Amino acid sequence: MTQVEKETTLYLGPQHPGITGNMMIELKVTGDTVQRAKTHVGYLHRGFEKLMEERLWMQCFPIVCRICVPEPDPNEENLARAIEEIEGREVPERAQYIRVMVLELSRIASYFLWMGGQAGSMGLYTMPQWTVGDRDYILDLFEELTGGRVYHMYIWAGGVRRDLPDGFAGRVRRVLDYLEERLTDYDRLFFQNALFLKRSQGVGVIDKDKAMEWGVVGPPLRGCGIAHDVRKDEPYEVYDKLDFEIITHEGGDIYARAMVRRREIEQSISIIRQVLDKMPGGPVHNPGPNPLKWKLPAGEAYVRTESARGEFGYYVVSDGSLKPRRIHVRGPAYVHGVSLLEKMLVGANIADVSVIMNSLGTCPPEIER
């Protein structure tokens, strides 16, 4: 009996456990194969950029960390650095080291969450139990350092908000040692798992020649074997004083991206150890004017950070008043989650849709802000 391949529309999300966050993909499928895909976003739109135009510069800091939920710190760091650039304010060196430590810790935390999601999307439910539980140790560190588990509001213009608590470095090292040890377990459970290999190798391939033109950044770009990393291209904070290499992996498929992230966890651990070794003493905050009367000189800046998902950018425009003229956020997921995902899903299996989504690290709140 011949089966007529009829095109059906399938709505994946917004209420769907395989979707990362609150978004929806409209799939046109024949049989099991996706013919066309269209992303629908906006379910998490809060209008942050509009809200910030109504707030004082200092009042923007508690807001920006909400833009990316799994990894709030690049937002704070970016806004702080953009403001510092416009204002010409120096940041004490110790504060820069602490910022790097916070950024790398949040990168590890974000990758741990990703590992859980990636494994969960393939039906390996032990991984989320482990990784999310282990990630909590990093959140504990954050809580101790900043006073908040998820939203830290720790990095602000001129430095960071508090110095390290007594004995903090030792506790960071202990957590790092533990996580490093755990990576072997993860290897056995997940990265060498036959099911994972089967479903990741050769699936969700990004064309290496087109990757840069398509605006792919971060681990997906490095997973294509292209060595670009904002930390090396345009070193910010004290990354130029630290010893690390850009990690790449050939293939451009889900497996390559996973391996890049897997090795970057180890690299981040090594960076944090270097930071702890090299961290100088001194102040951690270079005070600015009274926040209620803080006028930024007219000017603009675009600053970028390498977040766990790739280049995170802030375009800040000041017209010399108490409030920002415009703050535009470039989340890496904006490109990954919309135009790239739409392209990559063509020809994919329905079951692979959420695996591909997870491998790109799509994060809806930073798409619609």
Partner 1 sequence: MKEDWGREAGNIISNWARKHSLWVLAYGTGCGAIEIPPTMTSRYDAERFGISGMATPRQADVLLITGYLSVKTLKRVIRSYEQMQAPKYVIGFGSCTINGGMYWDSYNTVKRLDDYLPVDVFINGCMPRPEAVIDGFVKLQELIASKKANGWIRYQENLDWYRANQKKVIKNWNMPDYNW
Partner 2 sequence: MKNIKGVFLPFSALKFLGKKPHTVRYPLEKKKTAERYRGFHYNDIEECIGCGTCATICQNEAIDMIKIDGIEPKKGDSGLRPRVDNGRCCWCGLCVEMCPTGSLSLTDQYLQTTPDPESFLLIPGVDHPEYGEHKSFVKDDEIRLLDLQRVPMRELDGAERVKSFAEVVLGYMQEEARREASRCVDCAICVTACPDHMHIPEYIAAIADADDELALKYIYDNNPLPELCGKVCTRQCETVCAISHLGDPIAIRWLKRYATEQFPDPAVILNPKIAEPNGKKVGIVGGGPAGLSAGFYLALRGFDVTVYEALPKAGGMTFAGIPKYRFPEDSLDKQISYMEKIGVKIKTNTRIGKDISFEELEKRHDALFLGVGFHVPYRLGIIGEDLKNSIQAVDFLREINLGNKVDVGDKVVVIGGGNVAIDAARVARRLGAEVTILYRRRVEDMPADWEEIEGAEHEGVKIVPQGIPLEIIGKDGKVAAIKYGMAEMVPDPKGGRPRPKLIEGDEHTMEVTSVIGAIGQEADYSFLPERIKEKLEIERGRIKVNEYKQTTIDYIFAGGDTVNRTMDAISAIADGVKAVEGIERFLLGDKNK
Partner 3 sequence: MNHEEHIINTIHTTFKSAEAEIQRKGRLLIRLRSDLLPAFVSYLKNYLDFNHLVMISCVDWMEDNQFELVYHLYSYAQKVHAMVKVRLNRSQPQAQTILPFWDQAGTYEREIHEMYGVYFEGHPDLSEFILEDWDDIPPMRRDFKTREFVNENYEWRKGREDAQDVRRTISERYDEKLPQFNNDDKANG
For residue 150, the minimal CB distance to partner 2 (Å) is: 11
Evaluate whether 361 touches 115 at the Cβ level (below 8 Å). Answer: no
Q: Which stretch binds partner 1 (CB under 8 A): 41-49, 168-176, 226-234, 302-310?
A: 41-49
What's the CA gap between 86 and 306, in Å, rounded?
21
Binders of partner 2 in range 25-64 (CB under 8 A): 55-56, 58-63
Which of 161, 152, 113 has its CA nearest to residue 287?
Answer: 161
Site string for partner 2, 109-128 (x = CB under 8 A): ---------------x-x--
Applying CB under 8 A, among 66, 171, 241, 295 the residue interacting with partner 1 is 66
DSSP line for 252-267: -SHHHHHHHHHHHHHH
Q: Which helix (H) or strand (E) holds 301?
A: strand 299-307
For residue 257, the minimal CB distance to partner 3 (Å) is: 18
330 SS3 class: strand
16 touches partner 1 (CB under 8 A): yes
Q: Per this entry, what is the length of the chain?
A: 369
Half-sphere exposure of 10 (CA within 13 A, CB side): 20
**Cα–Cα distances in Å, from 52 out to 15, 44, 56, 90?**
29, 17, 8, 24
The smaller minimum CB distance to partner 2, of residues 20 and 78, is found at: 78
293 touches partner 2 (CB under 8 A): yes
For residue 48, the minimal CB distance to partner 3 (Å) is: 11
- Using CB distances below 5 to 8 A depending on partner kind, what does residue 212 bind out of partner 3, partner 2, partner 1, none? partner 3
Which positions lie near partner 1, rule CB under 8 A? 14-17, 21-22, 42-47, 50-51, 54, 62-63, 66, 69-70, 113, 116, 128-130, 132-133, 135-136, 139, 149-151, 365
